[in-house]
Amino acid sequence: MDQLYSFASMKLQNLATSDHASVVSMNLFVALLCACIVIGHLLEESRWMNESITALVIGVTTGVVILLISGGKSSHLLVFSEDLFFIYLLPPIIFNAGFQVKKKQFFRNFITIILFGAVGTLISWAIISFGAIQFFKKWDIGSLDIGDYLAIGTIFAATDSVCTLQVLNQDETPLLYSLVFGEGVVNDATSVVLFNAIQSFDLTHLNTSTAFHFLGNFFYLFLTSTLLGAFTGLLSAYIIKKLYFGRHSTDREVALMILMAYLSYMLAELFYLSGILTVFFCGIVMSHYTWHNVTESSRVTTKHAFATLSFVAEIFIFLYVGMDALDIEKWRFVSDSPGTSVAVSSVLMALIMVGRAAFVFPLSFLSNLAKKSQAEKISIKQQVVIWWSGLMRGAVSMALAYNQFTRSGHTQLRANAIMITSTITVVLFSTVVFGLMTKPLIRILLPQPKHTTSATASDPSSPKSLTISLLGSAQDSFNFSASDIPRPSSIRALLTTPTHTVHYYWRKFDNAFMRPMFGGRGFVPFVPGSPTERSIRE
């Protein structure tokens, strides 16, 4: 009995020590997050720095300090986990991107965005995979099979839209922002879908049937993921419109929107679909319908709640990556041949640049052929900015690399360790170097006139400017009548201006069927005395 008691006491003591260590780690991590926010605010006006680079630098610095304190045994407070990244950190970032996007710009450039995000990613993937096969097979880096090489293509074809969007301004460069932003979301989804497809197929026996099956599965995932996101968004709009929770509690409205958004992502993961595409289109649908069905206080709350969650998740990711970059276990495998690791990283960086150039300039040329208006065409300077701003690699690349080349965050094979350390090197180099130079490059190639200031900035105290600043970025999308667009008179109009023509018929359908059923601007439930009803009557 005494032995059992002592054994139980020892176990409880070990558990308590482990719990205390976790609490200490989380305290330090939260303190670092606060430091990132404060330092990021102080560097707000810097022409070089942004929050992503700040968090990355702080993470690396913290990793060095922990490495020195631990005597070279560990460099991180938390172990990088792709499950943590994909399940908890990525959904709020992608959802807020869909919720805040200027949908008018996004859908006006939808064809170009799909060309860049889907076709461009496939071109980049093919070039990186082929280049990796040609170079790495000649070097002694360990055993990699065809699946590993194809996975390398998807890992490094995934751009880092988070860091890029922090240096682009939605109001100053709307065309650039919508293209880079839209491409980033579709690129992330394409990379993840492609990665999952590669893992699920037997690549040792490739033939025509397998290729067609692969493509069919790819497009099936794209379509079903998009439809699931739209369905979840419409369901939330219908529930909130019919039940109108705001008459009793705005908290329920906000909670339901947040939970339904997260549910869309988890349903996609449950059915092996693309959670990124699902939650992105759920955000678009929610901002168009659901958001207009809630009270004014819920609108302000949800807008800022989604933006805050996304902001904290972004900082968390870069801090996380910065600290994990110095994980001594992974670097120990390549310590005997640092030249090989540097060569692999250099080749990957070169392939990324070539792969991106191979689709940005040709696809921009094709896109310009289909546009008659000079203002809508992508100039060569804008193409250079699009190419440059998409060279950064970030957390999606890290998560996919960990998924492919580690087991529970640990690496035991030399080839796998080289690929992990090379991924870390490429992420750090591209984020810091290309991220630092993106702002100056935009200022040189696309200088903004100094007198361009928005009405909101000139008079921030006016109620109208407050409303615009709160609602404009997410809700300006489709809130104008179908009569604002000239009616297409023939099939020729559909061929010459497909986006305008589709938008015209979509507006007619939306006003006639969708908004009366699911709500939206001008179709809110009647509840006497509610803030929404008072504003509508006014």
Q: Which has more confidence, 392 or 142?
A: 392
Q: Which has more confidence, 246 or 113?
A: 113
- Mean pLDDT value across residues 183-212: 78
Q: Which has more confidence, 455 or 400?
A: 400
Q: Is pLDDT above 90 for 27?
A: no
Paired residues of 407 in beta bridges: 410
Q: Is 273 helix (H, G, I), strand (E, B) or coil?
A: coil
Residue 167 counted as domain residue: yes
- List % helix, strand, coil for the chain (3-state, nearest 5): 75, 0, 25
Q: Which has more confidence, 409 or 66?
A: 66
Residue 475 counted as domain residue: no
Count of the separate structural domains present in the chain? 1
pLDDT at 9: 60
Q: Dmax over Cα atoms in the chain, in whole Å?
A: 92
Q: Is pLDDT above 70 for 205?
A: no
pLDDT at 463: 33
**Beta strands in 20-134, from DSSP E residues, in sequence order:** none
Of 59, 66, 73, nearest in space to 329 by CA = 73
Residue 349 counted as domain residue: yes
pLDDT at 48: 64
Reported as a pLDDT band with limits 50, 70 and 90, residue 482 is very low
- Mean pLDDT value across residues 415-436: 86
Residue 90 counted as domain residue: yes
Q: Is pLDDT above 70 for 534?
A: no
Sequence-distant (6+) residues with CB within 8 A of 130 are none
Of 66, 81, 153, 533, nearest in space to 328 by CA = 66
Residue 328 counted as domain residue: no
Give kind and range of the element (H or E) at residue 295: none
Sequence-distant (6+) residues with CB within 8 A of 381 are 445, 446
- Mean pLDDT value across residues 16-42: 81
253 burial type by CB count under 10 A (0-12 exposed, 13-18 middle, 19+ buried): buried
pLDDT tens column, 235-280: 999 998 888 776 677 888 889 999 999 999 999 989 888 888 899 8
pLDDT at 356: 94
- When mean pLDDT is compared over 92-96, 324-328, 490-494, the highest value belongs to 92-96
Reported as a pLDDT band with limits 50, 70 and 90, residue 460 is very low
pLDDT at 458: 37
pLDDT at 410: 62
Of 282, 285, 189, nearest in space to 477 by CA = 285
pLDDT at 526: 53
pLDDT at 351: 94
- Length of the chain equals 538
Structure tokens that stand for 251 in this block? 């908290």
Domain around 310: 82-137+146-316+343-407+414-445
d(CA 347, CA 26): 37
- Mean pLDDT value across residues 55-76: 79
Give the chain's mean pLDDT: 78
pLDDT tens column, 352-386: 999 999 999 999 999 888 877 777 788 898 899 89
Residue 153 counted as domain residue: yes
Domain of 421, CATH number, reads 1.20.1530.20
pLDDT at 500: 65
Residue 162 counted as domain residue: yes
Residue 73 counted as domain residue: no
